């Protein structure tokens, strides 16, 4: 039962981190196409390390779910942490560049 919970949390964490990576990719693409988009592109370049780190941690947590109960507990901890960080980073990036519309 704990394995199912760990897998679900790990998958949610991977989805959250991939959402952050995807949003940064879209933001970077739009910034590179616009004149005057250099500050946004520079901001995005600074956020890639965080996005990559949370994605790697989420995938590692998902890998941990193939172990025993101890590894499942570790997977829950790592996945919850990386998912929370990725979600907070995504929200802060969206709040910074949200257009009124």
Using the Cα atoms of residue 14, residue 17, residue 22 and residue 25 in order, give the sign of their dihedral.
Answer: negative
What is the distance between the alpha carbons of residues 25 and 1, in angstroms, rounded to a whole number? 36
pLDDT, mean over the chain = 94
Q: How far is 63 from 83, CA to CA, in rounded Å?
A: 15
Model pLDDT, residue 2: 94
Residue 101 pLDDT exceeds 50:
no
Q: What is the pLDDT of residue 97?
A: 84
Residues of the chain with pLDDT > 70: what percent? 97
d(CA 52, CA 75): 18
And the tokens for 55?
A: 């994605």
pTM metric for this prediction:
0.89
């Amino acid at each position: 039962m704990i394995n199912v919970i760990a897998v679900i949390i790990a998958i949610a964490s991977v989805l959250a981190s991939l959402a952050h990576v995807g949003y940064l990719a879209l933001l970077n693409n739009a910034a590179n196409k616009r004149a005057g988009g250099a500050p946004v592109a520079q901001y995005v370049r600074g956020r890639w390390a965080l996005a990559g780190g949370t994605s790697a941690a989420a995938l590692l947590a998902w890998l941990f779910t193939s172990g025993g109960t101890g590894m499942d507990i570790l997977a829950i901890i790592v996945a919850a942490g990386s998912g929370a960080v990725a979600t907070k980073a995504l929200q802060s990036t969206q709040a910074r560049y949200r257009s009124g519309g």
